[in-house]
Structures are given as structure tokens and as C-alpha cells.
Amino acid sequence: MKRKLMLAPLVMLATFGGTALADSRYEKHIVVPGYQFLDSAAFPKAASTSTVASRAYTSSSNTVYGGFELAQASTVYILVRGNSLGSLGITNGYLDAPHVRLFNQAGADLITQGGYSGFNDCNASDSTDLPVVNYYSARGIPVQSRDTCLAASLPSGAYTFTVTPSFLNSNNSLRSSGSSGPSAGEILFEVKLNP
């Protein structure tokens, strides 16, 4: 079933002096003194997006969770900025080498790297990373090799992800780009659709 963002219950409301007026088709009434909602005719019936992004803090005890949904099969560029946040003016407190796991709507891991679930680098010599590296370089906001990126063609459906620091594996061998250092900090998770 296709999910839609439902704005109608909110945009039909208006407040005057702390009392709420609402379309009688809706049971919830929101009272926000001095705030007036826009008429629903001002909003398009459907919208699309080309980029979704979320900034967050992650550490070994603070996993970042998120998700996105594709209405149709799409080419998707995923970039988790840590080190390259400096190109956006954030030079302190970033997470080095973010570790990303991407799941389908059934909860299955979609990407493995070096025999482990997930991925944690942005390597221009890797064919799954190069399109992302080139895309952002051409726009003047380059990535760094210890960011995390992936270019993939994904079918329609819901996708979720987690972002954590990268650590030594249980056998003390390093994942492909090694452990995060610093091992806590800010990340920016970006999903670019049909670049």
C-alpha cells in the first residue's frame, strides 16, 4: 500500500483567540493561539523529492536510525558525511569512518563489505563509490575517503539504515577503512534519488 503524507487534518484548522476551528470530517483539533494554518488548496496533491538528508550524532552507545521509501525503482546515491563535513563548514565534532547498514523492508542487510554487514568507506577506485565521488566533486562539495558512500539501483519499497562508528571486528582485524577515530561525532546522511 502506498503511503502518503497527510496534511489535510492540519491545514483545515484555524485558531482565533485560543479556540480551534476545524473541518467536521476530522476528529482531532489543535489549539495554537495566534497561529493560522494555510488553506489546503495551497498545497499540491503530490510531491517528489530529489534529496533527503538528516544530521545526527552517533557513538558506540548511540546508533542513528532512519529510513526512506521509493515509490518506484530508482538509482540512489547514499553518502554519509563524517570527515567531509568540513566542506559544509562543520570542522569540529565529526565522526570519522561512519559504518552504515542498509536494510530492505523485510529487515535484510543489503550490503556487505569484506565479509561483514554494511559498508564504511568512500573509495574513488571502487565502482560502487565512484559515481557518488564524482557527483559531489562536480558540485564543489567533495567527499573524503573516510566518509561512507554507495551508488545503487534499488527497487521500489521501504528502506531503513543504521549509522554507527566503525570498530575492530571480533577477531581484531580492521574493517576496510579501519576503526573510527574519533569514535563519536556528527554525521550527515544524504540520499540522492535519480541523480
- Output the CA torsion sign for 153, 158, 164, 167: negative
Q: Strands, DSSP E only, in 59-156?
A: 64-70, 74-81, 98-103, 112-113, 116-117, 148-154
Q: How far apart, in whole angstroms, are the C-alpha atoms of residue 163 and residue 58?
A: 7
Q: What is the rounded radius of gyration, in angstroms, for the C-alpha atoms of the chain?
A: 21
- Both 27 and 113 in one domain: the answer is no
Do 99 and 14 fall within a single domain? Answer: no
Kindly state whether residues 29 and 57 are assigned to the same domain: no
Instruction: Give yes or no: residues 13 and 89 share one domain.
Output: no
Model pLDDT, residue 39: 55
> Does residue 188 belong to any structural domain of this protein?
yes
In a domain, residue 2? The reply is no
The span from the CA of 95 to the CA of 58, in Å, is: 7
Do 70 and 20 share a structural domain? Answer: no
Contact 156, 71 (CB under 8 A): yes
| Same domain (yes/no): 38, 59 | no
Element (H, E) at 136: helix 130-138
Residues 25 and 75 in one domain: no
Q: Does 70 share its domain with 16?
A: no
The range of the structural domain enclosing residue 120 comes to: 51-193
Is residue 100 included in any domain, yes or no?
A: yes
- Looking at the domain assignment, is residue 111 inside a domain? yes
Task: Tell me whether residue 131 is in a domain.
Answer: yes
In this predicted structure, what is the pLDDT of residue 59?
86
Whether residues 174 and 103 share a domain: the answer is yes
Say if 1 falls within a structural domain.
no
What pTM was computed for the model?
A: 0.71
- Looking at the structure, do residues 15 and 67 belong to the same domain, yes or no? no
**Total structural domains within the chain:** 2
What CATH number does the domain containing 76 carry? 2.60.120.380
The pLDDT tens digits for 175-194 are 455 677 778 899 999 999 99
* Whole-angstrom distance, CA of residue 100 vs CA of residue 132: 15
Residue 106 DSSP SS3: coil
Residues 168 and 108 grouped into a single domain = yes
Hey, what amino acid is at 47?
A: A
pLDDT in tens, 147-169: 999 999 999 999 999 999 887 55
Q: Which residues of the chain have pLDDT under 70?
A: 1-48, 168-178
The percent helix, strand, coil of the chain (3-state, each to 5) is: 10, 35, 55
pLDDT of the residue at 34: 56
The reply to whether 70 and 17 lie within a common domain is: no
